[in-house]
Structure 1
Amino acid sequence: MTSSDAARSEAAEPSSGGTVDGTQPEAEPGMRAPGQPTRRVMFALLLPLFAALLSISSVIVAAPVIVAGIGASESDLQWILTGYALAFGMGLVPAGRAGDLWGRRGMFLAGTGFFGLTSAAAALAPSPELLIVARVLMGLASSMLLPRIIGVIQQLFTGAARGQAYGLMATVIGLGVALGPLVGGLLVELAPEEYSWRLVFGINVPIGLLGVVLGVLWLPRRRAPRARASGNLRQLDPIGVLLLTAAIVLIMLPFIQLRGGWGVVAAAAGVLLAAGWVLWERRLGRRRPEDPMVDLRLFTLPSYTWNSAILVLYFLGMPAMWAVIPIYLQDGLGHSALTAGIVSLPSGLMVLLLASGVGKRVPRWGTRMLVLGSCTAVLAVLMLAGAVHLMGSDYGSLWWIAVAIGVSGFSQALLIPSAQTLSMQDVPEQMAGASGGVQQTVQRIFTAMGMAVATGVYFLVAQDHGHQQAMVISALLIAAAMSTSVLAAVGAARAAKRTR
């Protein structure tokens, strides 16, 4: 039996919806059996995630008001925007492992409450320095949410129901990214100037409080498996946590602030530390198989490796597109933050209409939807480049940009639930949080890379050739980056065919 077959055989029993020791979850009274995504469970899980994602894109739109309101420098603003992403990436894998060991429900509730508290701290921050600290803490709180959600979905749902649950998660991801500019624009336009940017953070406080209440009421309690009951600090793998955290910080810093030669040195050191982390995890796994933070046998599962690659490569371009579009609409065309938010609505609408239904069809059509979704993503960015090019003629209109954004939403609705569901189909339930954390961590690194390159190219071209040319070139660069996800989707389809 190969290592891939062994890992798949380990995955078979947990994926049935039971716990690691074969016991079934103890649900709240009135809840349906595992495998059926009840609305209230999914609502309790996804409401805090929506707030966390909303906080990313809404803050980008509110950036000019933040600078004026709190007196932030350009360097301060960069850390306010990116410190969140850095902390989010650092915390994902350790938080995922901790939830796998000591219980996902409690970690999820703690993360939701912490996110609400840190959002309040950001809204009340009296100085740029304290706002940066609050944003970093918000990122750490957010990192406690996403691996929990993936782990709980793996525990509670099976088959088509699991695909539907991941489809709902993809819907929330798409809506959070798409509606963030609109919400931020509305607050900036309608609220008093001295309070508007504070409301962008403060809106998370009641959502966090509601999320804790709903989580306590609706998330099922599960009898802890014996492996979790004996969980301790050693099983959290502190050396692995330190190695991976340092590697992530050093790899992401050049794409956030550290430029030039020192940035290259930091990135190289980060890659070496990441290699050291892999060696440590492999050595620890051979000595004590239950102790590594991440079981490296995950990467012998073709379904996990190929579909995670699709998501990572897709996120290399998609968030970068959302980063440059508001800049072009506001700085290049002179539109308001509210208008920039309205133009983004077609994407959220497409995700809202399609993602959940796509999730239910993943068992039958998943690989085909992967290929179609990745191809459509590239097409959407090319359409965006064409729409921007037309802005210099009599045929130019914001409607063409909105259409391209709508096509992007269509691709997202096809690709994210399909790849997420297929990537986790063979993952053992007891590894779900850590595997989701690894997946999301690499996505955050590639997101930071894509956004840094796209925005850097945009501003460089805009200085000499104007915003229109900068947007066209940035869109073509993003399309080239996202074309790699097409190759990964074809590879995933072929691997799935060989497995069948």
Structure 2
Amino acid sequence: MRTGPRTASDIAQGGRRRWEALGVCLVAAFMSLLDVSIVNVALPSIQQGLHASEADLQWIVSGYALTFGLALVPAGRIGDARSRRAVFMAGLALFTASSAAAGMAPTVLWLIVARLVQGAAGGVLNPQVAGLIQQLFRGAERGRAFGALGAVIGIATAVGPLLGGVLIAMAGPAEGWRWVFYVNVPVGLVALALAWWLLPAPIYGEQRSLDPVGVALLGAGVVAFMLPFLQERQWPGAAKWLLVPAGVVVLLLFLAWERRHPAPLVDLRLFKRRSYGLGAAIALLYFAGFTAIFFIFTVFLQNGRGYNALEAGLAITPFALGSGTAAFVGGRVVSRFGRPLVVLGLALVAFGLGTAWLAVELWPGRGVAWATALPLLAGGLGSGLVISPNQTLTLAEVPHTQGGTAAGVLQTGQRMGSAVGIAAAGAVFFATLAGTKGDWAAAFRHGLVVILVFVLAALAVACYDMISGRRAAGRGG
């Protein structure tokens, strides 16, 4: 009886094995994405337990996002060129170990370093998930697989505050934050064993250069661009914003280098495909709004309305339920409806957020969570019709041998968008709070306006893609 890992052809011959392999990937993706949002509700507990400053707390959150974004493209490239299974397992092992280290942290510096390593590990394993979906699935099945991944993205992002609140409530505010990290350890160990058995062994003989100069330029550009946004409230003064144009210049140098390199880190011809270029723009703009929702809403509820961590998490649950359900459905029907499905989803998100704005205007008091439940459900349903269908359409024309790299670039854009969106919405939120002398409801509504701008910009790009696609099809006919 065979005991080694299965090849891609083995899995392709048995549909069940492909879906089992996908299940392992989704579990790992869920853990890494959950840790983006679950920590937010644990910050007061961490501050109390480790005597952390506001700057320390900011690094616990933003450091994870920074190293996550840095690892995505190089890790995707290594997986494409060598072995997605090996890179996935390395990332998962590192993520599990760093989660244990974070839970055991005796000092805040220890925790920050563990979070930096944890973020990098999440960035290593995530592109392999999209690359493996590209490798193992075709046609409508690929849409369903990306639908499952989209459901995981939506649920992990939205359910993080709820799960964090439950863990803190069960373990107590003094030590509950540690279980936010410890919960990853048993899941990660089981997933590692299953990954060895279920994921396909390498099928590529190609040993491409890994373009170290391109890696360095991309990393420096991403760090310079993201840092001012991630540290917007902790770095006083306007000088920090000089890093943004500096980052843009370095990223332009990266593009120039990639055009001349015989084996570039990123094949820039990807962006000549309308589906990929416009899909990446939609993802960047949408994630700028999508992730900022949870940031300003949890701050509003906990600091402005006296909700505890569990109550704040429960208030976001309608969005998570809507997002998970719609992503699963969207993945199944995206091959039939195409880009109009994403347009519908973005319009529904805009409607849900606009209605939430109105709900907070009319019922700004302690019962605001009930007033925003249906609007958040509508927004979640729309979000589910955006994330997985857009990823399916964006990667549809990408050769599976470049799937990990293409997914890494796409996810890097999402991380950069998230940093910009949270900083922009947060800046307006706190500026309104200061200007109105503590009007939390007004601050939340003004932050929602910023988020709506990003969502409507994504909607405009999606409409352009839909219209230009129809025109191209008409000329072809």
Give the TM-score normalised by structure 2: 0.94
Structure 2 CA distance for aligned equivalents of residues 330 and 194 of structure 1: 18
Q: Equivalent of 2:370, from 375, 399, 410?
A: 399
Structure 2 CA distance for aligned equivalents of residues 303 and 70 of structure 1: 47
Structure 2 CA distance for aligned equivalents of residues 302 and 357 of structure 1: 25
Aligned match of 2:205 = 226
1:440 and 1:34, CA in 2 relative to 1: closer, same or farther beyond 3 A? farther
1:91 and 1:259, CA in 2 relative to 1: closer, same or farther beyond 3 A? farther
Contact 1:329 1:340 in 2 (8 A): yes
Aligned match of 2:65 = 85
Does residue 363 of the first structure (1) align with residue 338 of the second (2)? no
Does residue 109 of the first structure (1) align with residue 109 of the second (2)? no
Structure 1 CA distance for aligned equivalents of residues 168 and 401 of structure 2: 44
Structure 1 CA distance for aligned equivalents of residues 470 and 267 of structure 2: 25
1:240 and 1:34, CA in 2 relative to 1: closer, same or farther beyond 3 A? farther
Aligned match of 2:229 = 255
Amino acid at match of 2:177: W
Structure 2 CA distance for aligned equivalents of residues 259 and 99 of structure 1: 40
Taking the TM superposition and a 5 Å limit, the aligned residue runs for 1:244-393 are 244-257=218-231, 258-284=235-261, 288=262, 291-392=263-364
Contact 2:330 2:385 in 1 (8 A): yes
Contact 2:168 2:176 in 1 (8 A): yes
1:296 and 1:189, CA in 2 relative to 1: closer, same or farther beyond 3 A? same
Q: Equivalent of 1:184, from 148, 157, 164?
A: 164
Aligned match of 2:108 = 128
Aligned match of 2:465 = 492
Does residue 431 of the first structure (1) align with residue 411 of the second (2)? no
Matched residue SS, 1:386: helix
C-alpha displacement of 1:261 = 3.1
Aligned match of 1:15 = none
Contact 1:154 1:162 in 2 (8 A): yes
Aligned match of 1:199 = 179
Q: Percent identity?
A: 38
Count matched residues: 463
Contact 1:28 1:218 in 2 (8 A): no
C-alpha displacement of 1:78 = 0.5
- Bigger drift between 34-43 and 354-363 goes to 34-43
Aligned match of 1:473 = 446
Matched residue SS, 2:319: helix
- Bigger drift between 79-88 and 249-258 goes to 249-258
Structure 1 CA distance for aligned equivalents of residues 85 and 105 of structure 2: 30
- Bigger drift between 206-215 and 258-267 goes to 258-267
C-alpha displacement of 1:312 = 1.1
Name stretches of at least 5 consecutive residues in structure 1 with no aligned partner.
Answer: 1-24
Give the TM-score normalised by structure 1: 0.89
Aligned match of 2:191 = 211
Structure 1 CA distance for aligned equivalents of residues 211 and 18 of structure 2: 34
C-alpha displacement of 1:346 = 1.3
Structure 2 CA distance for aligned equivalents of residues 495 and 96 of structure 1: 30
Amino acid at match of 1:206: P
Contact 1:34 1:157 in 2 (8 A): no
1:34 and 1:163, CA in 2 relative to 1: closer, same or farther beyond 3 A? farther
Does residue 146 of the first structure (1) align with residue 126 of the second (2)? yes
Q: Equivalent of 1:59, from 30, 39, 48?
A: 39
Structure 2 CA distance for aligned equivalents of residues 392 and 166 of structure 1: 38
Amino acid at match of 2:195: G
Deviations 1:105-156 (A, max 9, x none): 1100111111000111111111111111110100100001221011100001
Does residue 456 of the first structure (1) align with residue 427 of the second (2)? yes
Contact 1:35 1:162 in 2 (8 A): no
C-alpha displacement of 1:495 = 3.1
Q: Equivalent of 2:56, from 53, 76, 85?
A: 76
